[in-house]
Structure 1
Amino acid sequence: MENYLLFVFMSFLLIILPGPDTAVITKNTIVKKKAAGIQTTFGTLTALFIHTLAAVFGLSALIVKSAFLFTILKYVGAVYLIYLGCKSILYIMKKQPVTDQAPNQVNKYANESNFKQGFLTNLLNPKVAVFFLTFLPQFAGTGEHAFIEFLALGLTYTILTMIWFFVYIYLINFVSHFMKKPSTMKVMEGFTGGVLILFGVKLALEKN
């Protein structure tokens, strides 16, 4: 495997760049606490593993080469991001403050699938498939062990993502102790909701 340490370094730089995954994890960690952020992260990691397998077996190449499949996946992903963003904004527009809501209302919101949000946000993003097909091959060989090397690189990227987001979640959770006011949490919920909508619109408007 060529330049493995360079791959690790470059991957880390790419992972820490804010994206839709970061926005969803941030929102869930602040609003629903650390456990929700971790569950969201595991959803993201599962999607990354599927992207790795898809790239290894050539499914990602099929999506990238097919304008129709790429467009369908792009718009589905964009709609889902916009849906999450709109839901966040609608949530903070409720008349009742968070602390005054009925217990069943709070529990209903808290029990939403954080794993599913992280999973679908990453899985439905065709840019991730393109990334795996363009970035990973630069560090994998072309010999008989290319399959194993490609898989190892994808797993390495997934593990690095896990490490970064776990650290990020703990930092967010620590800072959130100073942001317990319902008004502050509503601002953060609205901000991350707006960011998700922007990411969705950006994804929808990008050329294939």
Structure 2
Amino acid sequence: MENYFLFIFMAIMLIILPGPDTAIITKNTISKKKAAGMQTTLGTLVALLIHTLAAVFGLSALIVKSAFLFSILKYAGAVYLIYLGCKSMVYILKKQPIAIQENGQENKYSSQSNFKQGFLTNILNPKVAVFFLTFLPQFAGTGNNAFVEFLTLGLTYTLLTLIWFFFYINLINFVSDFMKKPSTLRVVEGLTGGVLILFGLKLALEKQ
């Protein structure tokens, strides 16, 4: 495998850049709790694994080459991001921001929702598929082991994403006493809602 450690360095630089997944994980960690952030991260990781396998088996290439399939994913992802953003904006109009669920049944549904948000945000983003097809091959060889190397790079990227968000969520949780004040929660919901809407519009307006 060529320049594996360079790949790790470049991957870390890309992972820490804020994106839609960072915005959603931040919102869920602050407005709910640490577990919610980890559940959202898990959804993100599963989506990344699927994108890795899709790239390995050539499905991502099919999506990128097909303007129709690319557009379907792009607009679906954009609509979902805008929906989440608008949903967050609605909370700032309420007297009480999102409360941490106490009921066990509500926690179950909340966990599913957190996971779904992280999963759908990434799986419906065709830019992630393009990224895996353009970034990973630069560090993989072209010999008989190309399949294994490609898969290893994808798994490494997913693992680095897990490590970063684990650190990030714990950092947010460390200052959660201030961040969980009702007034602060409204600001966080408003900011992340606006960011998600902007990400959604940006995705929708971008060309293939």
Both structures adopt the same fold (TM-score exceeding 0.5) = yes
SS of 2:179's partner is coil
Q: Name the structure 2 match of 1:97.
A: 96
Q: Name the structure 2 match of 1:142.
A: 142
Q: Give me the whole-angstrom Cα distance separating, in 1, the residues matched to 2:193 and 2:55.
A: 31
Deviation at 1:174, TM superposition (A): 0.9
For the 8 Å contact 2:30–2:180, the answer to whether it is kept is no
Q: Name the structure 1 match of 2:171.
A: 171
- Provide runs of 4+ in structure 1 moved above 6 Å: 99-104
5+ residue gaps in structure 2? none
TM-score (norm 1): 0.93
The question of 1:76 aligning with 2:76 is answered yes
Q: String of CA shifts for 1:107-144, please: whole Å, max 9, x gaps.
A: 58982610000000000000000000000000000111
Q: String of CA shifts for 1:40-98, please: whole Å, max 9, x gaps.
A: 0000000000000000000000000011111110000000000000011112212x324
Q: String of CA shifts for 1:138-177, please: whole Å, max 9, x gaps.
A: 0000111100000000000000000000000000111222
Q: Name the structure 1 match of 2:119.
A: 119
Amino acid aligned to 1:84: L
Q: Name the structure 1 match of 2:32.
A: 32
Q: Name the structure 1 match of 2:206.
A: 206
Q: Give me the whole-angstrom Cα distance separating, in 2, the residues matched to 1:92 and 1:197.
A: 15
For the 8 Å contact 2:33–2:100, the answer to whether it is kept is no
Quote the RMSD (CA, aligned, Å).
2.0
Amino acid aligned to 1:57: F
Deviation at 1:183, TM superposition (A): 1.1
5+ residue gaps in structure 1? none
Deviation at 1:100, TM superposition (A): 9.2
SS of 1:161's partner is helix
SS of 2:10's partner is helix
For the 8 Å contact 1:99–1:182, the answer to whether it is kept is no
Identity of matched residues, %: 78
TM-score (norm 2): 0.93
Amino acid aligned to 2:15: I
Cα gap change, 1:2/1:30 in structure 2, threshold over 3 Å: closer, same or farther?
Answer: same
Amino acid aligned to 1:206: E
Q: Give me the whole-angstrom Cα distance separating, in 2, the residues matched to 1:109 and 1:194.
A: 28
For the 8 Å contact 2:31–2:98, the answer to whether it is kept is no
